[in-house]
Structure 1
Amino acid sequence: MTVKPILALDIMGGDEGPAVTIPAAALARMRYPEMRFRLYGDETVIRSALSSYPDLAAEAEIIHTDVEVLGTDKPSQILRSARKSSIGLAVGGVKAGEAHAAVSAGNTGALMALAKIGLRTMPGITRPALAALLPTMKSDVVMLDLGANAECDDENLSQFAVMGAAFARIVLGIDRPSVAILNIGEEELKGTDDHKEAADALRAVDLDFTYAGFVEGDKIGRGEVDVIVSDGFSGNIALKAIEGTARLVVELLRRAFRANLWSILGFIMSKRVLSSLRAHLDPNAHNGAVFLGLNGIVVKSHGSANVEGFANAIGVAHDLVADNIQQRIADDLARFNDQRLSAKEQQAAAE
């Protein structure tokens, strides 16, 4: 790897702030010794937290700000003050070329707005998409968009597919991922015109992914495809439904195993299996959603992420920088547009 990633970290973001983000940065640096950090937040608080991590302190640069964006802040409040906050300055560091990527567990709306306005979309990308990993019966699946765009046309969906496939090749290590579009049915006649036109466009090109058709919501967890493409409205609803169902299952199991003595004995006997299930469903193990399609890398961590979870989000940012996700998307999009134009010209000539 020729690039030594410099990451801009919003230290004050998340439920626990520096109590999580500082030890997570130290853990991530142990995993990736070549990585460097710019730490944004209250300098006094950061230096106090760094006292337990001298190796990190020796390599990290602190950029002070006492402006914070709270999770309860409204969009109108955010845009007035967020640029001077730890979350805003972290994104600004990427825009200024001082860092290769930004990572924050702060206010999602603020991060999304600042990233869109500050970094803008890459040439040829009409809208960015929020992508993340979700657990399935087999392996993780990349899903996008998860809430950045409520409405999407066929061009947006096609671009999401190209970006999602590039993301999957890096984070999942799959040379030729399979890509499907979330729909109300698997039949080609199902869905809106935008769904059908996006499917036609993806079917007509030959890139480093395989178009697998439509997939229904109940198939997301099966792991039959590597990338699932959706508009942000449907994708966010699907994501929240999956998260809610996982919490429901865990709670029902907890109640069932506490029902009586025999249930408690059953819990003891199946503890290893349940621990494996919990680990598989743990959001910290899949932490690190990414805004794809921007002129810069921005990773969103769960606000409730623990040290391991935030370190995993930092790891996602590291891998995207190391494997040059921006250039991969640009190259794949150029090939996609060339092939789509050629297909349209051939169809027009045939008619």
Structure 2
Amino acid sequence: MVRISLDVMGGDFGPDVVIPGAARALERHPDIRFVLFGDEALCQPLLDKYPKLKAASTFHASEIAIAMDEKPSQALRRGRGKSSMWQAIDAINTGEADVVVSAGNTGALMAMSVFCLRTMTGIQRPAIAGIWPTLKGESIVLDVGATIGADAQQLMDFALMGGAMARALFEIERPTLGLLNVGVEEVKGQEEVKEAGRLLRETGIDSIDYFGFVEGDDIGRGTVDVVVTEGFAGNIALKTAEGTARQIAEYLKAAMSRTLMAKIGYIFAKGAFDRLREKMDPRKVNGGVFLGLNGIVIKSHGGTDAEGFAAAIDVGYDMVRNGLKAKIENDLQRYHAMLPANAAANGAVGEV
């Protein structure tokens, strides 16, 4: 059984998307048990329409819903202990849930998650990991917006967490990992990125196959399983990819309806276009994972529909079933256990 707490009031549409999305996820994973937090007057009539979901859920009434445009500091002051978002996160602390899923305000969700769950031992800053469709399948990209600017050690932490997530999500024993840079040559890029590359090469972490530097076009190619960057560049890359996908979809739609011959051609190629639409559907890869916390938090797009929210629940389900938290903790412990030995070895070389 996987216990998932939901911030039912989160997102642009709240219960109108969250509850139908949970019902869809339950059809795919009958072993889910939901813990729901939201406005009882709004949620109960919707729950009555989904008897299977209602039977598999525990509902808790919440007094406050965090607005999508609310500042994180304000949301934390106003919603601590009383909001559906805070209560859904705190369900992990109380042992009522294994993972929380919310489509709510990203800044507020991160602030509350850090305040409520705290970061793992040895982790300075959390990261948001996104699942990225590629020519080879899917890759993980982090950070996509949690930490603006990161030093070499923080990038190293992101690498460890991203590698653990790849093992949990893709079931790869030793995922390949690259650092996003402006070129593949070792002399290029910011000092923090070059230093992180040195750390990854010299540490020799056996759970990661370090590929080296990768460039922006390598993300879509699927050159590596995990791409590591700081949050500013990662968020721009994410938004650019999403915008480009919508742009291409609009180009295709316009081209297929321009002439009679184009419309006829579309009919013959409909199967191929359907597969392309499925591949480019952002709902299928919805669900950013907050890494580095003492609990698993999944962030859904705020404007998604029921199918998109169900996909975010699917990500949370997979992370719990495949032991993401334990894998990250194990990798961090092994890495930090290596540090004194590495430091001593480097010191000995320096003395010689």
TM range (shorter): over 0.9
Displacement of 1:199 in angstroms is: 0.8
Q: Is the 8 Å Cα contact of residues 7 and 102 (structure 2) preserved in structure 1?
A: yes
Q: Is the 8 Å Cα contact of residues 131 and 140 (structure 2) preserved in structure 1?
A: yes
User: Which residue number in structure 1 is paired with residue 309 of structure 2?
Assistant: 310
Q: Is the 8 Å Cα contact of residues 22 and 49 (structure 1) preserved in structure 2?
A: yes
Q: Is the 8 Å Cα contact of residues 201 and 340 (structure 1) preserved in structure 2?
A: no
In 1, the alpha carbon distance for the partners of 2:246 and 2:56 equals 39
Structure 2 counterpart SS, 1:148: coil
After superposition, residues 87-126 of structure 1 pair within 5 angstroms as 87-126=85-124
User: Which residue number in structure 2 is paired with residue 43 of structure 1?
Assistant: 40
User: Which residue number in structure 2 is paired with residue 147 of structure 1?
Assistant: 145
Displacement of 1:119 in angstroms is: 1.2
Structure 1 counterpart SS, 2:343: helix
In 1, the alpha carbon distance for the partners of 2:96 and 2:116 equals 14
In 2, the alpha carbon distance for the partners of 1:76 and 1:333 equals 30
In 1, the alpha carbon distance for the partners of 2:196 and 2:306 equals 40
In 2, the alpha carbon distance for the partners of 1:172 and 1:137 equals 15
Identify unmatched segments of 5+ residues in structure 2.
none
Structure 2 counterpart SS, 1:63: strand
User: Which residue number in structure 2 is paired with residue 324 of structure 1?
Assistant: 323
In 2, the alpha carbon distance for the partners of 1:134 and 1:334 equals 28
CA RMSD of aligned residues (A): 1.5
Q: Is the 8 Å Cα contact of residues 207 and 332 (structure 1) preserved in structure 2?
A: no
Displacement of 1:225 in angstroms is: 0.5
1:23 to 3, 20, 37: 20
In 1, the alpha carbon distance for the partners of 2:317 and 2:232 equals 29
Q: Percent identity of the aligned residues?
A: 46
Change (3 A) 1:127 1:26: same
Q: TM-score, normalised by structure 1?
A: 0.95
User: Which residue number in structure 2 is paired with residue 338 of structure 1?
Assistant: 337
In 1, the alpha carbon distance for the partners of 2:313 and 2:208 equals 26
In 2, the alpha carbon distance for the partners of 1:144 and 1:301 equals 16
User: Which residue number in structure 2 is paired with residue 223 of structure 1?
Assistant: 222
Counterpart code for 2:118: R
Structure 1: which 4+ aligned runs deviate by more than 4 Å? none
Displacement of 1:99 in angstroms is: 1.5
Bigger CA drift: 184-193 or 22-31? 22-31
In 2, the alpha carbon distance for the partners of 1:333 and 1:130 equals 17
Change (3 A) 1:190 1:340: farther
Q: Is the 8 Å Cα contact of residues 102 and 299 (structure 1) preserved in structure 2?
A: yes
After superposition, residues 218-257 of structure 1 pair within 5 angstroms as 218-257=217-256
Q: Does 1:67 align with 2:53?
A: no
Total equivalences in the alignment: 348
Displacement of 1:343 in angstroms is: 2.8
Q: Does 1:271 align with 2:270?
A: yes
In 1, the alpha carbon distance for the partners of 2:51 and 2:217 equals 48
